[in-house]
């Protein structure tokens, strides 16, 4: 009898639910949009109840669309988003998105502790991670209110258990990376209550039960979205890496069973934990990828993301226009939340095509910088980059990525790497698979470099000079 999993991918702009067979075939799927809201001072909020409802509705729709029996559930969450709730489990404040920068005051206050927090957690001190948002929220909600990651609250409402998996917990700035347990020292630095933190559990195993989808189902897989995609793209050995091009672009490279800290501005976190089987990864973030493309649409340079290649290919591949697409700050390896996007090399001849192409090249250049940082930390060259996400439909972006990296780029053959990854974890957690990697698809289309190494170096150096000017302008003050 086939072992089928309901895989939930709760993301920033939508929730996807897939029924996945033990061989990785998608038997049915459903998607429900969710609606992040930008507010003043760099804030991005979401309605927690909308996120929960989207999980339930998408899951029920996927189940209704197949006659196959489902045996377990795997749930991937959107990561560093925070929420506050009361004793009844009711949210008392909008969820604070991973994109939100309003907790910069918390990180500024703890600047002298940045090195110590990095040593404990493997993470740079930045508002991107969960703990600064939790501290920011705790200052604004009343007594008898619990603050935690969005996954802990969703798990509470879905299963009755306030739990977080090790991969998600490692994105908080509160987890001891070596022991994979909460760090009392880190928790104390942020002024949080250790007793209110969720229990840290494995990414695969018997993690709870839920009846919200109709039949009672075992929850046997939990992971943060990017680590789920790392599993989904079969990056299971040290030195294997992937990049997901969604709202942002997220590079992860598996480093093996021993935790290591980056010397090049990357984050280090748990890739997965399944009993004694665990692995770590290095990662870096480009905060605006799909969201930068949405900006292009909003200002009228493209009508839809599907127009990207049509517009971009009408401009030369090296027009001299350079974009640093830091619309909501710079992540790794720069960690500058106040950075703004810039364009250089504009002239009266510059049109929509040159600007669109420059944005795509800026995204690819930022990812290339992250890959180079990971290679420096690993002491070895990454042989191929596996990619997934909506923006991989842009051949211009993917070819530019291969050109700048000077290595092949392999396209994941499904738009659902995160869901397929958490499905694999759920199969393993239910003991329906002998390894995490069972039932995962082989890579699809492959992009090979089409320019010389010298040309790639020249273009990357030009991009990094533009980034340096962005950083210099911030040091000069207003």
The topology (CATH level 3) of 283-411+448-475 is: Nucleotidyltransferase; domain 5 (3.30.420)
Confidence of residue 477 (pLDDT cuts 50, 70, 90): low
Confidence of residue 143 (pLDDT cuts 50, 70, 90): confident
pLDDT of residue 144: 86
pLDDT tens-digit series, residues 80-121: 999 999 999 999 999 999 989 999 999 999 999 999 999 999
Rounded Cα distance, 40 and 287, in Å:
18
pLDDT of residue 337: 85
pLDDT tens-digit series, residues 346-383: 999 999 999 999 999 999 999 999 999 999 999 999 99
- Angle separating helix axes 290-298 and 352-378, nearest 10 degrees: 170
Domain ranges for the chain, please list them: 5-232, 283-411+448-475
- Can you identify the CATH homologous superfamily of domain 5-232? ATPase, nucleotide binding domain (3.30.420.40)
Give which of 420, 452, 451, 450 is closest to 436, Cα–Cα.
420
pLDDT of residue 1: 62
**CB hemisphere CA count around 2 (13 angstroms):** 16
Q: Is the pLDDT of residue 322 over 70?
A: yes
How is the chain split among helix, strand and coil, in percent rounded to 5? 35, 25, 40
Give which of 6, 144, 166, 17 is closest to 84, Cα–Cα.
144
387 CB-near residues (< 8 Å, 6+ apart)? 242, 243, 244, 245, 398, 401, 409, 410, 411, 412
Whether residue 333 is preceded by a cis peptide bond, meaning omega within 30 degrees of 0, is yes
pLDDT of residue 42: 86
Exposure string over 313-344, b if 16+ CB within 10 A, otherwise e: eebebebebbbbbbbbbbbbbbbbbebebbbb
pLDDT tens-digit series, residues 234-268: 999 999 999 999 889 999 999 999 999 999 999 99
Rounded Cα distance, 35 and 41, in Å:
19
Same fold, 5-232 and 283-411+448-475: yes
Q: Is the pLDDT of residue 478 over 60?
A: no
Q: Kindly state the average pLDDT of the residues 19-47.
A: 95
- Least confident span in 5-9, 302-306, 371-375: 302-306
pLDDT tens-digit series, residues 176-221: 999 999 999 999 999 999 999 999 999 999 999 999 999 999 999 9
Q: Kindly state the average pLDDT of the residues 306-330.
A: 92
**CB hemisphere CA count around 251 (13 angstroms):** 33
Residue % of the chain over a pLDDT of 90: 91
- Residue 288 backbone dihedrals phi, psi, to 5 degrees: -125, 110
Confirm if 190 and 174 have CB atoms less than 8 A apart. Answer: yes
Confidence of residue 40 (pLDDT cuts 50, 70, 90): confident
pLDDT of residue 96: 97
Pairing of β 163-165 and β 199-201: parallel
Phi-psi label, residue 135: left if phi above 0, alpha if psi -120 to 50, beta otherwise: alpha
Q: Is the pLDDT of residue 463 over 80?
A: yes
């Amino acid at each position: 009898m086939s072992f089928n999993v309901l895989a939930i991918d709760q993301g920033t702009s939508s929730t996807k639910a897939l029924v996945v067979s033990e061989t990785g075939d998608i038997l049915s799927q459903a998607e429900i949009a969710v609606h992040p809201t930008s507010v003043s001072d760099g804030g991005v909020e979401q309605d927690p109840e909308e996120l929960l409802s989207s999980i339930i509705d998408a899951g029920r729709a996927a189940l209704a669309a197949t006659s196959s029996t489902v045996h377990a559930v795997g749930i991937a969450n959107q990561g560093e988003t925070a929420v506050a709730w009361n004793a009844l489990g009711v949210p008392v404040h909008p969820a604070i998105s991973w994109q939100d920068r309003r907790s910069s005051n918390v990180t500024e206050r703890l600047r002298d502790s940045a090195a110590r927090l990095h040593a404990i957690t493997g993470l740079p001190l930045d508002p991107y991670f969960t703990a600064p948002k939790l501290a920011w929220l705790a200052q604004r909600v009343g007594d008898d209110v619990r603050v935690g990651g969005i996954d802990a609250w969703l798990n509470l409402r879905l299963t009755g258990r306030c739990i977080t998996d090790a991969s998600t917990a490692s994105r908080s700035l509160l987890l001891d990376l070596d022991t994979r347990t909460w760090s009392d020292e880190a928790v104390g630095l942020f002024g949080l209550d250790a007793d209110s933190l969720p229990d840290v559990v494995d990414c695969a195993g018997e993690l709870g039960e839920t009846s919200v989808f109709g039949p009672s189902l075992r929850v046997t897989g939990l992971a943060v979205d990017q680590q789920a995609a790392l599993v989904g793209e079969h990056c299971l050995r040290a030195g294997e890496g992937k990049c997901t091009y969604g709202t942002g672009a997220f590079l992860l490279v598996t480093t093996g069973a021993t935790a290591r800290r980056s010397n090049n501005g990357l984050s280090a976190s748990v890739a997965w934990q399944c009993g004694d089987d665990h692995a770590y990864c290095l990662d870096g973030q480009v905060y605006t990828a799909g969201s930068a493309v949405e900006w292009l649409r909003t200002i009228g340079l493209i009508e839809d993301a599907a127009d990207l290649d049509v517009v971009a290919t009408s401009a030369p591949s090296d027009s001299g226009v350079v974009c640093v697409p830091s619309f909501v700050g710079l992540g790794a390896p720069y960690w500058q939340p106040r950075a703004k996007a810039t364009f250089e090399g504009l002239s009266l001849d510059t049109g929509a095509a040159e600007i669109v192409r420059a944005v795509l090249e800026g995204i690819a250049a930022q990812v290339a910088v992250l890959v180079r940082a990971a290679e420096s930390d690993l002491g070895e060259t990454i042989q191929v980059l596996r990619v997934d996400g909506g923006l991989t439909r842009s051949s211009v972006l993917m070819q530019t990525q291969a050109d700048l990296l000077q290595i092949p780029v392999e396209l994941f053959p499904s738009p659902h790497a995160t869901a397929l990854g958490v499905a694999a974890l759920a199969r393993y957690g239910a003991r329906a698979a002998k390894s995490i990697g069972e039932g995962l698809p082989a890579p699809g289309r492959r992009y090979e470099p089409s320019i010389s190494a010298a040309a790639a170096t020249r273009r990357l150096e030009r991009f990094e000079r533009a980034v340096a000017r962005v950083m210099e302008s911030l040091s000069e003050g207003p």
